[in-house]
């Protein structure tokens, strides 16, 4: 391997990038990647090393002891090197112009701060001026399957992808409400309850799967089901089982339950006997252990004397089905899993950036997709805007209640669910 002083400078920049990546400091990591690839004399040699996969050889060249584990930085480095063509020096007045940037990595490093911290008027105006033709050229090339779960980002996902479909002229199929596939086809298939096994036969799709910490989900659902306008919470029930859950979360029965022209007796029969489509291949039937004796879900929940009693009922009744669905979601590398907590808390939007990149938005389209994402983030809007749906906002208050008997019952039901979902 050829050697040069400029190569050493570039290699050291890459090592600095790795150092920051291992500490999850990705903005700093990508800054050092850019420093390396902006080193013009070393660009060709670095690209050659990266494309041959000789990153360990790069480490040995600068006299590192032992092998080098580039870990999460390796993919970023390879992609940056391979995707960055030679170009003239960067003019000072173009730093915030979306059409200047050639690669997603540079977009993250140099414009994300302006987008999020100050939400730069220049950047917003440039993105909004993009024609639909320009956006279409920078939208995903593959169909998108978009999933969430009840009280786990379903409202955020629906609002955001409706906005993306409109902005990029994409055909949106709301799979939960419209049970029959559109004759004209679709570009985005969205299901708020993640029932998408029947459309996962689509080749080369990219997917979004939004999840939430199970305990936060239960606490939020407990509050929500006492005040919400969901039609199923006001149907008299005898006992809550998995059949009841499926009747409330399958489009074919949900549409009947919400229909004001359908008699209550018909709705009671559906909710107490369940849907004709009883669960997916990995869904296990369950019984909450609660007899409601003709009370509605809302009435029964509100009648319980303490928050702790309400939480135990909620985790054994409706939310048990939601969490089982979440845990049973297919393990498919085409799906990007995104946590509602990252959407709600992270003003740097690092998780959303990774998700939009993974879905195939790029260039100017990536900028516009992030603007659409930020419009519905709770850190940006505040919980007040979604007062009819968002119950806890970004509050961690649920942690105060999962102690003693409540936590014991949770562990009995869900075991290591938090570990499986990546929260521990």
- pLDDT given at position 68: 35
- pLDDT given at position 283: 60
- pLDDT given at position 76: 39
Total residue length of the chain: 424
Distance CA 374, CA 98 (A): 17
- pLDDT given at position 66: 30
Distance CA 55, CA 70 (A): 8
Please write the tens of the pLDDT for every residue from 112-169.
434 333 333 444 454 455 555 555 667 788 999 999 999 999 999 999 999 999 888 8
- pLDDT given at position 39: 52
- pLDDT given at position 296: 97
- Three-state secondary structure along 289-336? EEECCCCCHHHHHHHCCCHHHHHHHHHHCHHHHHHHHHHCCCCCCCEE
- pLDDT given at position 31: 61
- pLDDT given at position 78: 40
Tokens of 203: 């080749």
Sheet holding 144-147, edge to edge: 172-174, 188-191, 144-147, 206-211, 335-339
Please write the tens of the pLDDT for every residue from 50-77.
444 444 444 443 333 233 333 433 443 4
Distance CA 330, CA 335 (A): 9
- pLDDT given at position 234: 96
- pLDDT given at position 85: 37
| Record: fold of 135-212+333-379 | Rossmann fold (3.40.50)
Residue with tokens 């993250």: 108
CA distances (Å), 3 to each of 8, 14, 65, 74, 148, in order?
Answer: 8, 16, 18, 21, 51
According to DSSP, the β-strands at 287-291 and 239-241 are antiparallel
Distance CA 41, CA 54 (A): 19
Q: Where in the chain is the domain with CATH 3.40.50.300?
A: 135-212+333-379
Which contiguous run of DSSP H or E holds residue 101? none
DSSP three-state, residue 52: coil
Apex 291 CA angle, 289 and 295, nearest 5: 140
Distance CA 424, CA 404 (A): 20
With a CB cutoff of 8 Å and minimum separation 6, the contacts of 108 are 26, 27, 30, 353
Residues in the chain where the model's pLDDT stays below 70: 1-137, 274-283, 382-394
- pLDDT given at position 250: 86
Tokens of 44: 């060709």
pTM: 0.68
């Amino acid at each position: 391997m050829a050697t040069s002083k400029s190569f050493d400078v570039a290699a050291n920049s890459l090592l600095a990038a790795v150092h920051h990546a291992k500490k999850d400091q990705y903005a700093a990591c990508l800054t050092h990647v850019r420093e390396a690839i902006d080193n013009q004399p070393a660009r060709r040699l670095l690209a050659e090393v990266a494309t041959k996969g000789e990153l360990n050889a790069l480490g040995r060249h600068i006299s590192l002891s032992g092998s080098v584990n580039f870990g999460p930085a390796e993919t970023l480095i390879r992609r940056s090197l391979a995707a960055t063509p030679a170009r003239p020096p960067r003019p000072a007045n173009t730093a915030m112009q979306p059409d200047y940037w050639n690669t997603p990595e540079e977009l993250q490093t140099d414009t994300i701060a302006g987008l999020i911290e100050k939400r730069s008027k220049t950047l917003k105006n440039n993105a909004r001026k993009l024609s639909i033709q320009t956006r279409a050229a920078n939208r995903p090339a593959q169909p998108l399957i978009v999933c969430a779960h009840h009280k786990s980002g379903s409202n955020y996902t629906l609002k955001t992808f409706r906005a993306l479909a409109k902005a990029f002229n994409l055909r949106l199929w709301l799979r939960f409400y419209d049970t029959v596939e559109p004759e004209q086809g679709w570009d985005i298939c969205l299901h708020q309850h993640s029932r998408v096994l029947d459309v996962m036969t689509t080749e080369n799709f990219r997917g979004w799967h939004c999840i939430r910490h199970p305990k936060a989900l239960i606490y939020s659902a407990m509050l929500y089901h006492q005040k919400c306008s969901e039609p199923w919470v006001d149907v008299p029930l005898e006992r809550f089982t998995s059949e009841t859950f499926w009747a409330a979360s399958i489009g074919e029965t949900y549409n009947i339950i919400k229909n004001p022209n359908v008699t209550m007796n018909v709705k009671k029969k559906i909710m107490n006997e369940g849907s004709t489509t009883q669960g997916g291949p990995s869904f296990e039937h369950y019984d909450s252990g609660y007899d409601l004796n003709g009370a509605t879900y809302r009435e029964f929940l509100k009648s319980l004397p303490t928050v702790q009693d309400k939480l135990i009922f909620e985790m054994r009744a409706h939310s048990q089905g939601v969490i089982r669905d979440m845990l049973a979601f297919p393990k498919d590398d085409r799906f990007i899993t995104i946590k509602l907590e990252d959407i709600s808390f992270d003003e740097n939007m690092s998780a959303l950036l990774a998700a939009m990149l993974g879905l195939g938005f790029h260039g100017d389209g990536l900028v516009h997709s992030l603007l659409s994402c930020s419009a519905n983030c709770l850190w940006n809007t505040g919980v007040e805007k979604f007062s009819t749906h968002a119950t806890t906002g970004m509050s961690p208050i649920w942690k105060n209640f999962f102690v003693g008997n409540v936590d014991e019952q949770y562990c009995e039901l869900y075991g290591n669910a938090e570990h499986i979902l990546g929260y521990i």
